[in-house]
Amino acid sequence: MKRLLNLGRDKLAVLSLIVIGSVLTAGIFAPFVAPHDPQQVNMGLRYAGMSSAYWLGNDHLGRCILSRLIYGIRPSVLWVLVALLASVGVGALLGLAAGYFREKIDAVIMRICDVFLSFPGYVMTLAVVGILGPGLENILIAFIATKWAWFARVIRTSVMQYAEKDYIKFARASGIGHVRIIRTHIVPAAFADIAVVSSSSVCSMILQISGLSFLGLGIQAPNPEWGMMLNEAREVMFSKPQLMLAPGIAIVAVVSAFNFLSDALQVALDPKLGASAESRRNKEGKQARYEYIGS
Amino acid sequence: MNILEVEHLKVWEAGSGKSIVHESSFDVRAGRCLAIVGESGSGKSVTCRSIVRLNKSSLRQSGAIRFKGEDLNALPFKALRNKRGRQICMILQNGMSAFDPSCAVGVHLRETLKRHYGWGRGEIEARMISAMESVRLKNPLDVMNSYPYQLSGGMLQRVMIALALALEPDLVIADEPTTALDTLSQFEVVEQLIGLRERLGGSMIFVSHDLGVVRRIADDVLVMKNGEIVERGGVSSVFEQARHPYTQYLISTRSELGAGFKTLMKGGVSDAQR
Amino acid sequence: MLSVRNVEKSYGRGGLFSERKQSVLKGVSFECASGECLGIIGESGSGKSTLGRLILGLEKPDGGEVLFGGEPVGSPKRTAGSLSAVFQDYGSSINPFFTVEEAIAEPMAGGGFGGGKKRREDIDRLLLQVGLNASYRSKYPHELSGGEAQRVCIARAVSTRPRCILLDEAVSSLDVSVQIQVLRLLKELKSSLNMSYIFITHDIQAAAYLCDRIIIFREGRIEETMAVEHLKDVQSAYARKLLDALITF
């Protein structure tokens, strides 16, 4: 907890937290926050610019862009986060088991991962959606099915380098149970790596949901979604480029906020790095020296 | 004649301004071996790495480092790179991190020799083989074809010494070359370092925290504490009549460690105390 | 108290289905009596660290058994904390996320060592015992020097009042001047707490300083065992070579 307060000293982290926090709240309380009904068509306001009633203007069907943006948080951010947590959860569980216990357990889990990883992500997703039918839930199921193996792999590698440390050996020698060792020693150490991989996949998942919606496999038409909004604006990309701005900026802002936050978390959680960027840079100073001898 | 003159060497951390080595001046005479001793954190490794400007980028240094009259600290980076290896050769503590793990040892050696001397493949091989044989590495060809992880620490250390032999530098800087080694390989490596000095007739800077090894190999000694040189002089005079309390502390702890063993060995293996 | 009986261990090389094995320990047997300090001397790659892991019960031997107080190590019957350890690498011996206090308290959580205020007093006492003071309690490992970190590891090892401590190269990565201080501390603690040590090292001088009996270990076998007073009368050629190669001061 004490270390999480370190985060407060990093201005960028605080800003990212504020952005993510307000986006999440806006998404959860969308009906109260949004000024208009996101699906209300008003052809009279087609491509209208910004006004006091419609802050971000109206789209090709005269719907309120701001309201659509706010309602779009639900599939684009909230459900993506749920899918992410589920797949990280599964991946972390298996990755921890594989990296900590090694040998047979490791071999079995990793071969299953290999099977899942041998299909390209998009193909798997399309196959799952093809079997289960289009729709947000099915895409999320497809995401969990395709992503967990990748998380398990990354987390296993990260766990393996900690599991060999002497403090783990000591804990085991003094009769402390495996679950307790994993909880107190391995999870905190591997957390930084988990945070980084999950934050970077948030970005790719948001973009993938948008991509699938664009193909007509995700969110169905009248419901708002950021990727779909981008797609709708694409038709008038050259005549009315401002329509792309709102969803585009929203995606960029959320994605970068997650990235900055994961970076800051990594620094704040590591007691050695303290909270200063200077000591963080020094960490990179540990370079291989082999290039120097004799040359 | 001095081969290396270091004057007012200062090393500090760029970010915090924390001083690591303050105002050190020392000389290395031609053909002599200077040992730098001290505990970890005393700045002995930083001092010798700053001679060839190998400290990590967050450290800054100032002062004059004259190697054969030429100030290394003022030299452009490229010119310095040409001096490293050819004229000043480093032997590092950890053989594993000193060689490129992704290629066979021989590839690394060949590149280095080719860079400095432009020899052909055959000549390099012949020279490396004779150098490796002289540090008593068996099957030099096999060694050159193996990857660093396949060789033991002592062997890698001897490969580095062999490379130093082939490069024929004027100054060898050995940074804790024996610290990570077992008794037997430590003995071998010290023997080979002594042999290296005899064959090249060059000068050496030897960094260590083990006074036993220093006494075997060095002529002069610098004692460093917290970035400062607290005592200097010939090995026998410093070790027998240490003036600074820190030197006395280092000597007394070292003799205490060996004392039990020495009493046990009295009248035993006659040459254990060579 | 501790007896190692005819222990064998080999590791598989290559993949999951590979049958190729490399034998690391070949029929090792010895005893360590209560209150004794036993030195195990070997070069790197001799299998002495594997032996250490087997004694601690971190791995199971392929053949033979390791008994501690009559029970196999690693069995749930063994009282937790009666066998403890100090390792070589002080940099990775303490979890970097733990303060000194948390690190020392960790093995005590096993049970029967009180909590709250009593725990804090215990930790202060342990720190004093290893020559540190109470102000170290809230420090993190990266703020400690090598010697201090190793002292904390020793405090942590004795916190459960063990009957035996395994010291796996516990002083080898320290400066010579600090090595002797840690060895002195170990000697003191041994007499005041009545423990036995198994001291695994490659350094004969350190072993001669601390141990009562010395086993010379080579390529997974015991080459020679002798009381430390008879060190100079070693029989085997290998042991003699080791003694000859030692650089004294």
**Residue A171, number of CB atoms within 10 A of its CB:** 20
Predicted pLDDT at B50: 87
Instruction: State how far residue B95 is from chain A, nearest Cα, in angstroms.
Output: 9
Residue A129: give the domain boundaries: 3-36+52-294
Section C28-42 average pLDDT: 89
Residue range C9-33, pLDDT digits in tens = 888 765 555 667 778 888 899 988 8
Considering the domain boundaries, does residue A46 fall inside one?
no
The overall longest dimension of chain B from CA atoms, in Å, is: 58
Considering the domain boundaries, does residue A47 fall inside one?
no
Most confidently predicted of A46-55, B8-17, B154-163, B212-221: B212-221
Residues of A in contact with C88 (CB under 8 A): 166
Instruction: State how far residue C143 is from chain B, nearest Cα, in angstroms.
Output: 13
CB nearest to C56's CB, from A107, A173, A188: A173
Predicted pLDDT at B169: 86
Provide ipTM, 2 decimals: 0.86
**What does residue B35 show for φ and ψ, rounded to 5 degrees?**
-100, 140
Predicted pLDDT at A281: 37
Question: How far apart, in Å, are the Cα atoms of B169 and each of A125, B82, B161, B166?
Answer: 62, 12, 11, 8
**What does residue A257 show for φ and ψ, rounded to 5 degrees?**
-60, -45
Query: With an 8 Å Cβ cutoff, is C71 touching chain A?
Result: no
Considering the domain boundaries, does residue A41 fall inside one?
no
Instruction: State how far residue A294 is from chain B, nearest Cα, in angstroms.
Output: 4
Q: Tokens for A204, please give them.
A: 């790719």
Contact yes or no for B187 and C245 at CB 8 A: yes
The per-residue pLDDT of chain B, averaged, comes to 84
Q: Spell out the SS3 assignment of chain A.
A: CHHHHHHHHCHHHHHHHHHHHHHHHHHHCHHHHCCCCCCCCCHHHCCCCCCCCCCCCECCCCCEHHHHHHHHHHHHHHHHHHHHHHHHHHHHHHHHHHHHHCHHHHHHHHHHHHHHHCCCHHHHHHHHHHHHCCCHHHHHHHHHHHHHHHHHHHHHHHHHHHHCCHHHHHHHHCCCCHHHHHHHHHHHHHHHHHHHHHHHHHHHHHHHHHHHHHCCCCCCCCCCCHHHHHHHHHCCCCCCCHHHHHHHHHHHHHHHHHHHHHHHHHHHHCCCCCCCHHHHHHHCCCCCCCCCCCC
Considering the domain boundaries, does residue A45 fall inside one?
no
Parallel/antiparallel/unpaired status of strands B59-67 and B70-71: antiparallel
Query: With an 8 Å Cβ cutoff, is C247 touching chain A?
Result: no
Q: Does C222 score more than 60 pLDDT?
A: yes
CATH number at residue A282: 1.10.3720.10
- By C-alpha distance, the chain B residue nearest C230 is B264
Residue range C76-114, pLDDT digits in tens = 655 667 888 898 888 888 888 888 988 888 887 765 566
Contact yes or no for C231 and B216 at CB 8 A: no
Rounded CA-CA distance C92/A272 in Å is 13
With an 8 Å Cβ cutoff, the interface of chain B facing chain C consists of: 39-41, 152-153, 182-188, 190, 209-213, 215-216, 249-250, 253-258, 260-262, 264-269, 271-273
Rounded CA-CA distance A189/C140 in Å is 15
Give kind and range of the element (H or E) at residue B256.
helix B245-265
Question: How far apart, in Å, are the Cα atoms of A275 and each of A3, A124, A238, C94?
Answer: 9, 41, 45, 21
A233: which residues sit within 8 A by CB, 6+ positions away?
A59, A240, A243, A244, A247
Query: How large a percentage of chain A has pLDDT more than 70?
Result: 89
Contact yes or no for A288 and B97 at CB 8 A: yes
According to DSSP, the residues that pair with B28 across neighbouring strands are B4
Considering the domain boundaries, does residue A43 fall inside one?
no
Residue range A130-157, pLDDT digits in tens = 888 887 888 888 888 888 888 999 899 9
Q: Does B263 score more than 70 pLDDT?
A: yes
Q: Does B269 score more than 70 pLDDT?
A: no
The SS3 call for residue B43 is coil
Predicted pLDDT at B58: 81
The residue assigned the tokens 């299909």 is: A119
Instruction: State how far residue A107 is from chain C, nearest Cα, in angstroms.
Output: 7
- Altogether, the residues listed in chain A come to a count of 295
Considering the domain boundaries, does residue A240 fall inside one?
yes
Predicted pLDDT at C113: 61
CB nearest to C95's CB, from A167, A175, A269: A167
Q: Does B129 score more than 50 pLDDT?
A: yes
CB nearest to B58's CB, from A282, A288, A295: A282
State how many domains chain A has: 1
The per-residue pLDDT of chain A, averaged, comes to 80
According to DSSP, the residues that pair with C21 across neighbouring strands are C12
Considering the domain boundaries, does residue A255 fall inside one?
yes
Query: With an 8 Å Cβ cutoff, is C88 touching chain B?
Result: no
Residue range C170-203, pLDDT digits in tens = 888 888 888 888 899 998 888 888 889 999 998 8
Section A263-275 average pLDDT: 67
Considering the domain boundaries, does residue A91 fall inside one?
yes
Interface contacts B/C by beta carbons within 8 Å: 105
Residues of A in contact with C98 (CB under 8 A): 167
Spatial strand order of the sheet with C2-12 comes to C21-32, C2-12, C63-68, C71-72
